[in-house]
Every structure is written in C-alpha cells, then in structure tokens.
Amino acid sequence: MATLKVTDLHVSVSDDEEKTQREILKGVNLTLNTGETHAIMGPNGTGKSTLSETIMGNPNYIVTKGDVTLDGESILGKPVDERARAGLFLAMQYPAEIKGITNAEFMRAAINARRPEDDPISIRAFLKELDKNIGVLNMSDEMTERYLNEGFSGGEKKRNEILQLMMIKPKFAILDEIDSGLDIDALQVVAKGVNEMASPDFGMLMITHYQRLLNYIHPDQVHVMMDGRIVKTGDFSLAQELEAKGYAGLRDELGLDVNLVDDDVPTGNGDE
C-alpha cells in the first residue's frame, strides 16, 4: 500500500500588482492510500485546484508551511517530472495543446519514463493496451495519431486525459474537475474509464463542484473545502447533503464565517 499525505499545508500565490503574497490554502490535512477514492467538493475560490497543482509541483504556488509526502518522503523539493515518475498523475481542467507530438508518442514516452531504461514497453504490448483502452472510452483510432489535444473539443480532451491515465497507470491520480463541460453521455464514458482503474494499487482524488460525478465514481470519503481548509469529511451521504442544502447551508450549519463569492481567488487558469 502506498500513501499520499498532505500535512498542515499552507500555500500562497504572488500578487504582482500589490507585490505581496496571498494565502489560499490555510492548513489542509489529507491522507490518501492506494485502494481508496476520495472526493473534494467546494465552491469556486476555496483552493481545490490550488491543492492539486501544489501536489503536482506547479511553481506558481508557494508552500509556506506544511508538507506533502509520498510513502513518507517529502516531494516538495521535487520537480513535476520527478513527481510523475514517482507515480503521481494530474488530469487537468484545461489540458495543454502540444503541436508536433502525437498522443501515442506522448503516452509511450510517459510509460517508459516510469520503467527501467533497459526495459521499455514493446510496441506490440503498447498497441495492445492502447487498443483496449480506446475501446473502453469509445475513442477513434485516429485520435491517437493526432497531435496532443490539438483541435480537440472539450469532451475529447477530457477523454484523452483519462486515456493517458489508463495507459500510464500511476499510483495516485488527481482528477481536477474532469466532469466540467461534459454532457451526460460523455460523463458516463469518462467514468467508465476511471472505474476501470480501480485496484488495490491505485488511489484517486477527485475534485468537483457537483454530486453528479460521484453518482458514477463512488468515493470512499468526501471532503468539503471552504476558505482554504477542509471543513467537513464524510462518506457519500455528505455529497448528497450538499446537493440538498448547498454550500451556503453547510457553511451556516457549521457556523463558518466564509465568503462564498466565486471569484475571490485569482489563479490565472480561469477557476481557482
């Protein structure tokens, strides 16, 4: 069993206009083991995407206190590629388009980066696995030969992120609002691919605003973030509670002095 642990994590971003740092995460604690699926819910501006980007090593986010460890070893000093080789994967809200490298080339390189140099995956084994996974996701063969995300629709990009996840097989995956912009049919296909990954050797952290994703990918634990902190943790019934009363209702129930304005945290990626 592998463990990804976030301990008393405080994270800030620089405000260039004010020449100051603004704190976004204010003491997050979270433990995720392989074999588990966790969900983080919360309104915009609460730090959900900041948490995912910090775990993955985005240098725009400054850790001022706390730690993130993988199997007991701090990863805060490691660059993004080293974290990925160690077994972390982030499915982003807004995947980048990269011209000049095909999907298939990218995925094979990512797989080999996690294997010994003298034991790359064979072309035959790679194509067999690729064919199986594009079948699960109802993707066409030609998408694997297109440049990475170039000209893809929003739904195609999300499916492509899940295809990469299924091919790379990390220890831990963070799905940052993988459901945003998907219609119900596309959501079901994406969820089918994610559920294919379930195993004792795989752990997942889903970030979402809405219960609907959790109807298809059932979490073991649900965490609610507000104002840069996890304010409540429970099972799937907590997501149902949020659907019924909303974030404002939970805020009032907990007696929190929290502003739920959507645009209270600028991050440069259009969300939080």
Instruction: Give the C-alpha separation, 156 to 77, whole Å.
Output: 33
Is position 34 within any domain?
yes
Distance CA 195, CA 223 (A): 20
In a domain, 130, yes or no: yes
* 110 Cβ contact partners less than 8 Å away, ≥ 6 residues apart: 84, 164, 167, 168
C-alpha distances (whole Å) from 262 to each of 47, 105, 126, 182, 272 are: 11, 38, 43, 21, 9
Query: Residue 265: inside a domain, yes or no?
Result: no
Q: What pLDDT score does 262 carry?
A: 43
Flag whether 263 is in a domain: no
Ordered per-residue pLDDT tens for the chain, 272 residues:
999 999 999 999 987 666 778 899 999 999 999 999 999 999 888 899 999 999 999 999 999 999 999 999 999 999 999 999 999 999 987 788 888 899 999 999 999 999 999 999 999 999 999 999 999 999 988 888 998 888 888 888 888 999 999 999 999 999 998 888 788 888 999 999 999 999 999 999 999 988 888 999 999 999 999 999 999 999 999 999 888 888 888 888 988 877 775 433 333 343 44
| Position 178 in a domain | yes
Q: Which residues are registered as beta bridge partners of 68?
A: 6
Q: In residues, how long is the chain? A: 272
Q: pLDDT value at position 210?
A: 81
Looking at the domain assignment, is residue 268 inside a domain?
A: no
Distance of CA 26 to the CA centre of its chain: 20
Domain that holds residue 72: 3-254
Number of structural domains in the chain: 1
Identify the pLDDT of residue 243: 86
Tell me if 81 is assigned to some domain: yes
User: In this structure, is residue 269 part of a structural domain?
Assistant: no
Encoded tokens for 250: 């939970």
Distance CA(221)–CA(211), nearest Å, equals 13
Question: Which pLDDT score is estimated for 194?
Answer: 93
CATH label of the domain that carries residue 67? 3.40.50.300
Over residues 45-100, the pLDDT tens digits come to: 889 999 999 999 999 999 999 999 999 999 999 999 999 999 999 998 778 888 88
Given a contact cutoff of 8 angstroms between Cβ atoms, the answer to whether 203 and 149 are in contact is no
Edge to edge, what strands does the sheet with 20-33 contain?
20-33, 3-15, 62-70, 73-74
